[in-house]
Amino acid sequence: MINSAAFDAADLSSCIKAYFNNIEDENQTKNKTSSGSKNEDIVNNKTIPPVSGPATLSGLAYSLGFDSRNSFWDYEQNGEFAFLLKRARLRIESVYEKKLHNQTCTGAVFALKSMGWNEKSDDKTATVPFKTLQVEVIETGVMPVASEKEIQI
């Protein structure tokens, strides 16, 4: 889908919204009833496949028509509409981040680590190496005094 010449930012934004709407619709459907069919969304004459389960990066990449997570990542880094994919990634990360408040959150921790999160603080001063400061003492000819009593006027 992304490689289509007639594809623009509005189309990509619609596809991303459709992906998340399918996820949310499925969650609402599961809570209300166990049966029912899921309709596929159509954006720019392209069918957005229905998705089951929680929002994932692989699921997003698949629904947008990417053939691998690597091609999704490459487009996210260098593509024309990279900002939209970065925002979609951030939305998925926020879902996992909310799961960290649950008692069993090991899956969310693993997912966030694979998305670049780490357990270390983001304190930038800890990674800055110390620089050596060289001090040169220059004699001025007048020696400093030890106390006020040594000053002569």
Report how far residue 78's alpha carbon sits from residue 128's, in angstroms, rounded to the nearest whole number.
Answer: 29
Average model confidence (pLDDT) across the chain: 77
pLDDT recorded at residue 151: 81
Q: 87: pLDDT confidence band, cut at 50, 70 and 90?
A: very high
pLDDT at 38 over 60: no
Helix 9-32, helix 82-99: angle, nearest 10: 20
Quick check: is 147 in a domain? no
Quick check: is 138 in a domain? no
Quick check: is 34 in a domain? yes
Q: 144: pLDDT confidence band, cut at 50, 70 and 90?
A: confident
Quick check: is 152 in a domain? no
Which amino acid belongs to residue 83? F
* Strand intervals (E) in 36-117: 41-43, 46-48
Residue with more model confidence, 123 or 92: 92
Quick check: is 145 in a domain? no
Which amino acid belongs to residue 67? D
DSSP, collapsed to helix, strand or coil, labels residue 18 as: helix
Quick check: is 153 in a domain? no
Quick check: is 105 in a domain? yes
Quick check: is 18 in a domain? yes
Which amino acid belongs to residue 53? G
Q: For residue 48, what are the β-bridge partners?
A: 41
pLDDT at 146 over 70: yes
The model's pTM:
0.59
Mean pLDDT, rounded, for 87-98: 89
| Domain membership of residue 90 as a residue range | 9-127
- How many domains is the chain partitioned into structurally? 1
**Least confident stretch, 30-39, 75-84, 88-97, 115-124:** 30-39
pLDDT recorded at residue 41: 53
**Least confident stretch, 16-25, 37-46, 62-71, 129-138:** 37-46
Pick the closest to residue 84 from 31, 9, 2 (CA basis): 9
Tokens of 118: 């780490």
Q: For residue 42, what are the β-bridge partners?
A: 47
pLDDT recorded at residue 6: 56
